[in-house]
Structure 1
Amino acid sequence: MSGPGPLEREGYRRCAAITRRHGTTYYWGVALLPAERRRHVHAVYALCRAADDIVDEPGATTPSQVRDTERRLAAFRHTVLQAVDGAPVDDPVLAAVVRTLRSCALDQAVLDRFFGAMAADLTTTRYETWEDLLGYMDGSAAVIGEMMLPVLRPTTPDALGPARALGLAFQLTNFIRDVAEDLDRGRVYLPQADLRAHGADPALRRVTPQWRTFLAEQIERNRALYAEADRGIPLLPGASARCVATARLLYSQILDRIEAADHDVFSSRIRVPTPVKAATAARALVRLPAPAAVSA
């Protein structure tokens, strides 16, 4: 495939800006990749962010607005798929996204699972069991790991399972960290059965002994997913391995900070400061050999 044209280059610049503004952990993690692969991660992030913004817009799930939101999400999905099939594109971000989807040869079934999960956010606000939540996360998180594999270029198909696990681990960390924000949208992305078993109620928005033991259990589950994902790092080439290892380290540090805050995810949003992210990426970057030029 020839190099990106002016519209696509502008789109990739905008995708990078979107990733830096909204997904700083991804941004600093993928800084370790060669530019021609880094831009694909930015484009996938921008695609996911655009769909997320539709379903997370204030009032998007209110009874009077949910049908309109469903139509907007369906229209966005249709626009993306039509563009991948060759429909003319004049939006720079969409042009970049389409080039990435084609370059990575992503199957439409992957996109269908992703958009299906986004649509579920409009009608489902609670998940009874961990297995139920995993069903949702297959399309909202594990699928992102699958989208990343062509960019990371693993040395064996055995990397698929760990890639899916890393997507799940990242999203569960988000769910644990963003309890208060999700409550504001009327959603709880934590297993209801586990909450009842511990007598924990996130709606109280305070740390109780019951909440502390419940969240400790979820953090343990989250770390098991990270451990499963770690099995895939040796299956990646050098730059990709350091990229994934850095992003994994940065994201899992959120769990450390939640524990240090005595499991208080209500008072403020737990973050790894941007200077820490940049320094972590820089330390990994100086150990990388210069990448060979690759067209994509």
Structure 2
Amino acid sequence: MSGAPTGLELYDRTAQAAAAAVISRYSTSFALACRLLGPRPRPHVRNIYALVRVADEIVDGPGEDAGLDAAAQRQVLDDLETETYRAIAQGFSANLIVHAFARTARECGIGQDLIEPFFRSMRVDITTHEHDPSSHDAYVYGSAEVVGLMCLQVFVNAGQPHPAPAPGDLVEGARRLGAAFQDVNFLRDLDFDEDALGRDYLGIDTGTATRTAVLDRIDADLAAAAAMVSALPADCRRAVTAAHDLFAELSMRLRREGETARARVRVPDPVKARLAARAWLGLAPRGARAS
């Protein structure tokens, strides 16, 4: 009869629980979508988002609130990236969140080609306050698209003996879904980003972009991503559909507010529950069509 886990198995489970706690504290919507994942990919996706959230918090307020200036934030971020690579190579970290992520990276084939652009975008938040279309696209790739690609690596590789690259059509879908999520969040947080963080990601305040143009791009990205969901492993489709439909709902509500709106738009809990139930029933993402 097997007893309670000990040694590395216990440490792995504890790290995984720590990652799940980060997500439950920071994002009820994401935590809901994660519950729709099958048990094979679920802990790995939580591990990814926990590390992403910790890195994001270094540059998005808590670090500064703790008294870190820009140079200190950069150093903490650099140290976190270095520890991430070390943990992937060694299979262990004293940082529970890094340890959880490294376990996922090793099993699912998440390499430096995805991790490095993410940390690069986090550093951009320390030094860059206004973006043009080119810098926006580079930032979104590192801050959101590669996170989608990390999750895709989990979807296709979790539980497999040897990780392999994801198919190209799924790569495109993951990138476009990540980009849509990020741009929706930028639109929702225009005032906070400007007033609290001094950032303009979209160029709306400088006149290089319009709210309508951004929403058109978001809806095109959501439609392209929706067309790829049916090609995902079955134990991932419900969660991706729920997340897609939540952001499609946000996009619709943002568009309804008009070109000059600044208030933060949210989806009421009963609507979130309806979208989750729809996904649980196995329905296709809203707006899904052949690519």
Q: TM-score, normalised on structure 2?
A: 0.82
- 8 Å Cα contact 1:170/1:251 also seen in 2: yes
Instruction: Quote the Cα distance in structure 1 between the aligned partners of 2:23 and 2:125.
Output: 22
Q: Which has the higher contact order (CA 8 A, sep 6+)?
A: 1
Unaligned 5+ residue runs, structure 2? 1-7, 158-165, 284-291
- Offset of residue 77 of structure 1: 0.8
Residue type of the alignment partner of 1:139: G
The answer to whether the aligner puts 1:272 opposite 2:276 as a matched pair is no
- Offset of residue 88 of structure 1: 4.1
Between 52-61 and 237-246, the greater mean CA deviation after superposition: 52-61
What is residue 23 of structure 1 aligned with on the other side?
27
What is residue 42 of structure 2 aligned with on the other side?
38
Change (3 A) 1:263 1:9: farther
Change (3 A) 1:217 1:169: same
What is residue 207 of structure 1 aligned with on the other side?
none
What is residue 289 of structure 2 aligned with on the other side?
none
The answer to whether the aligner puts 1:234 opposite 2:230 as a matched pair is yes
Instruction: Quote the Cα distance in structure 1 between the aligned partners of 2:273 and 2:24.
Output: 11
Matches within 5 A, 1:242-253: 242-253=238-249
Structure 1 residue ranges (4+ consecutive) displaced by more than 4 angstroms after TM superposition:
none
- Offset of residue 275 of structure 1: 4.1
- Offset of residue 76 of structure 1: 1.0
Matches within 5 A, 1:47-126: 47-57=51-61, 60=64, 65-86=69-90, 88-126=92-130
Instruction: Quote the Cα distance in structure 2 between the aligned partners of 1:122 and 1:224.
Output: 30
Instruction: Quote the Cα distance in structure 2 between the aligned partners of 1:87 and 1:249.
Output: 36
CA distances 1:84-138 after superposition (whole Å, capped 9, x unpaired):
111642333222111111111111121111101111111111112x233101111
CA distances 1:35-93 after superposition (whole Å, capped 9, x unpaired):
231111111110100100001125749xx811111111101111111111116423332
Instruction: Quote the Cα distance in structure 2 between the aligned partners of 1:251 and 1:264.
Output: 20
Instruction: Quote the Cα distance in structure 2 between the aligned partners of 1:274 and 1:15.
Output: 24
Match of 1:225 among 221, 224, 227: 221
Secondary structure of 1:141's partner?
helix
What is residue 177 of structure 1 aligned with on the other side?
188
Secondary structure of 1:39's partner?
helix
Q: TM-score, normalised on structure 1?
A: 0.81
Count residues in correspondence.
267
Instruction: Quote the Cα distance in structure 2 between the aligned partners of 1:83 and 1:59.
Output: 23
What is residue 137 of structure 1 aligned with on the other side?
140
Change (3 A) 1:127 1:9: same
Change (3 A) 1:59 1:106: closer
Structure 1 vs Structure 2 CA RMSD: 2.7
CA distances 1:230-255 after superposition (whole Å, capped 9, x unpaired):
23212212232222121100112112
- 8 Å Cα contact 1:179/1:265 also seen in 2: no
- 8 Å Cα contact 1:152/1:240 also seen in 2: yes
Secondary structure of 1:96's partner?
helix
Match of 2:172 among 150, 161, 166: 161
Change (3 A) 1:53 1:284: same
- 8 Å Cα contact 1:25/1:251 also seen in 2: no
Secondary structure of 2:200's partner?
coil
- 8 Å Cα contact 1:55/1:69 also seen in 2: yes
- Offset of residue 16 of structure 1: 1.9
- 8 Å Cα contact 1:177/1:265 also seen in 2: no
The answer to whether the aligner puts 1:254 opposite 2:250 as a matched pair is yes
- Offset of residue 273 of structure 1: 2.8
- Among the aligned pairs, what percent are the same residue? 32
Residue type of the alignment partner of 1:146: L
What is residue 199 of structure 2 aligned with on the other side?
187
- 8 Å Cα contact 1:33/1:240 also seen in 2: yes
